[in-house]
């Protein structure tokens, strides 16, 4: 079977068995025991960037330098089995895992104020061409549908490719990142939720939030599957 056909089947057929252990999962991606064993984000975490903290207060990074986004909701910590599942979804053509994982974000999102717009963090055109899809969009799409939120994919553009900038000095990297995103249109007073798969340092989400606020956004929240601890 061609790769294309395999991908199509992957996306059309709900898995009959748990992707982790192979047990009967009632046509969900994961069985109940595997769901319970996922590295769910601890209740005590920084309200701004979701980094686990001892008392649930702001983390040191956010205290030192306030990010441009206002809060972060992450369903999981990025380690253990999540650090296998997300790359498998992203690079191994198991796209169907992304909406399945996105569904697990929904209960936690109920406690957050509803945004006016849902914006997936855009990939640079070159990355999109290489990968064939934007993982952030594959997460944002089902969230928008299930939570009845407006999905916007044209307001925010990634104008610089910042994924492969290892050769640059840290200073140059930061400068590059700061100019990586451009928001178009008037976003005055808008409350926006930025969607991505993983928040690592938060630098790209911060740069995107900065661009959205420059265009007038009143509030930017990050909605990510997982936070790197």
Residues interacting with Zn ion, by CB under 5 A?
18, 20-21, 23, 31, 34, 46, 48-49, 51, 59, 62
CB 23 within 8 A of CB 17: yes
Identity of the residue, 50 or 215, whose beta carbon is nearer to Zn ion in the bound complex: 50
Q: How far apart are CA 53 and CA 181, in angstroms?
A: 30
Identity of the residue, 32 or 159, whose beta carbon is nearer to Zn ion in the bound complex: 32
Question: Minimum distance from CB of 80 to Zn ion (Å)?
Answer: 14
- Helix, strand, or coil here: 18? coil
Virtual CA dihedral for 56, 221, 219, 148, nearest 10 degrees? -130
Question: Minimum distance from CB of 188 to Zn ion (Å)?
Answer: 27
User: H/E/C letters for each residue in 107-172?
Assistant: HHHCCCCCCCEEEECCCCHHHHHHHCCCHHHHHHHHHHHHHCCEECCCCEEECCCCCCCCCCCHHH
Identity of the residue, 21 or 174, whose beta carbon is nearer to Zn ion in the bound complex: 21
Question: Minimum distance from CB of 209 to Zn ion (Å)?
Answer: 13
Identity of the residue, 31 or 156, whose beta carbon is nearer to Zn ion in the bound complex: 31
Strands 117-120 and 150-151 turn out to be parallel
Question: Minimum distance from CB of 109 to Zn ion (Å)?
Answer: 19
> DSSP assignment, residue 190?
-
Identity of the residue, 75 or 187, whose beta carbon is nearer to Zn ion in the bound complex: 75
Question: Minimum distance from CB of 18 to Zn ion (Å)?
Answer: 3
Question: Minimum distance from CB of 184 to Zn ion (Å)?
Answer: 29
Identity of the residue, 18 or 215, whose beta carbon is nearer to Zn ion in the bound complex: 18
Question: Minimum distance from CB of 20 to Zn ion (Å)?
Answer: 5
Identity of the residue, 46 or 156, whose beta carbon is nearer to Zn ion in the bound complex: 46
List C-alpha distances in Å: 196 to 25, 33, 54, 169, 220.
26, 26, 25, 25, 13
Helices and strands in the chain: count of H runs, count of E runs: 9, 7
Q: How far apart are CA 44 and CA 53, in angstroms?
A: 6
């Amino acid at each position: 079977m061609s790769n294309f056909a395999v991908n199509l089947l992957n996306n059309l057929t709900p898995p009959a068995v748990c992707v982790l252990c192979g047990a009967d999962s009632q046509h969900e991606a994961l069985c109940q025991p595997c769901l319970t064993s996922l590295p769910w984000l601890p209740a005590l975490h920084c309200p701004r960037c979701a980094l686990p903290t001892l008392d649930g207060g702001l983390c040191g990074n956010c205290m030192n330098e306030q990010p441009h986004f206002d809060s972060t909701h992450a369903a999981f910590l990025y380690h253990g089995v999540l650090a296998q599942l997300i790359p498998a979804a992203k690079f191994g053509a198991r796209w169907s895992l992304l909406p399945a994982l996105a569904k697990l974000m929904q209960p936690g999102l109920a406690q957050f104020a509803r945004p006016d717009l849902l914006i997936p963090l855009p990939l640079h055109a070159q990355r999109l061409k290489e990968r064939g899809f934007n993982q952030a969009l594959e997460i944002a799409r089902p969230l928008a549908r299930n939570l009845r939120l407006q999905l916007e994919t044209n307001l925010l553009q990634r104008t610089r490719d910042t994924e492969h900038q290892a050769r640059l000095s840290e200073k140059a990297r930061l400068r590059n990142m700061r100019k990586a995103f451009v928001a178009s249109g008037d976003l005055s007073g808008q409350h926006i939720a930025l969607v991505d798969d993983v928040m690592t340092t938060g630098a790209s989400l911060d740069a995107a939030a900065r661009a959205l606020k420059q265009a007038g956004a009143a509030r930017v929240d990050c909605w990510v599957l997982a936070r790197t601890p």
